[in-house]
Structure 1
Amino acid sequence: MHPDFWQEKWQKREIAFHQAAANPLLVSCFQQLALVPDSRVFVPLCGKTLDIGWLLASGYRVVGAELSEVAVQELFAELGLTPDISTAGKLQHYKADKLEVFVGDMFELSQAALGPVAAIYDRAALVALPADMRQRYAQQLMTISQCAPQLVICFDYDQAMLAGPPFAVDSKEMHKLYGHYYHLNCLKKQDVPGGLKRKCQATESAWLLTMPG
């Protein structure tokens, strides 16, 4: 998935993937991460998701990574925040209050620039990437976060019926990507009301990834 694909989506406002409320699986499952108040949560490929507002309102600090500067500008504006903008290597760094976002290619984000995070919330990143990019993405995520625990939300459906994104990521794929590093627990699975994009039956799952032991 070339970066221009997502830039064009935002420029043309083809953002049906942007939900109108915080994700229900986030709301019902996030406490399973057992984070203390003010913990720093990393949200990769965050767009301007309302999930960030929910995390902030729940007492967490949020650091995101997003390719589209348009999305990040709208995120801060919709939250009523005026960011300080600086440069972090090849990325732009937006920061205001308890929210910061790195703008640019997430593969250019280093562990040093990101800093310590208590957990990762991945709702729209893994499922946005085609199969040939997921392994690289998973390795990058684990490297820069030092294998922080994760709440991952993904879809499972017949990929032959819909081209994606979002792409289908089933249990086998999750274990292939993360099983050597994390203990995986599927917390909840539910049908997507009306099907995915109203085209095919799909399930949405929440996975908790924690370090063994």
Structure 2
Amino acid sequence: MNSSVVDLEAKILKREIPAAVEMLVIGVSTGGPEALSVLVKGLDPNLTCPIVIVLHVKEGFTKQLAQQLQRHTSLKVCEAQHDDVPMPGEIYLCPGGIHMYLKMNTNLSRPGRYKIVLRDGPNVHSCRPSVDVLFNSVADLNNHNIVGLIMTGMGNDGAEGAYRMATEARNYIIIQDEKSSVVWGMPKATWEKGVVSEIVSLERLAMRINKLVKGKG
């Protein structure tokens, strides 16, 4: 085993895997459209949790991206709308140019524990949407059964939010490995926080998520 692998493993956070994954939240940037295409292609068509994604994109691009991703999966892929209630087996992309939060769903007439809130605001890490905004809102929910994933991307957006998720809500955090990332900025920044429980290659991510959601560790 080479020294770099040893160094990575030294920072791995041993964390209990959720018995029942209620949601997967993803942050991704540079290389994101291609990486997401690979990911969704391998996801179980009977996935029992929703997936909520923040990708660093400009306004007006996400509808087209949702259509592109839809070609690779039978899971429903859509651009998120304000007040959407994430449902099992559906994938929600944050629109470009606006921040996305997860909040408790207090409307008892609509099934689902959480709702999506889209809100304007200043750039965070020069980004809007920002992964940190989404992940910080997840930390505030204090639900251990939400899993966070940071994929390929430049910069450090998402690292602070992942830190809060792991330390305050005991969420399980996964990052994409360096070799399969176009830029290993966001995953590395998250790893440096000491809150990452798994480092997984892009080729294995879908298989790993399928297994986690099925409760098979």
With normalisation by structure 2, the TM-score equals 0.44
Question: Higher RCO, 1 or 2 (CA under 8 Å, sep at least 6)?
Answer: 2
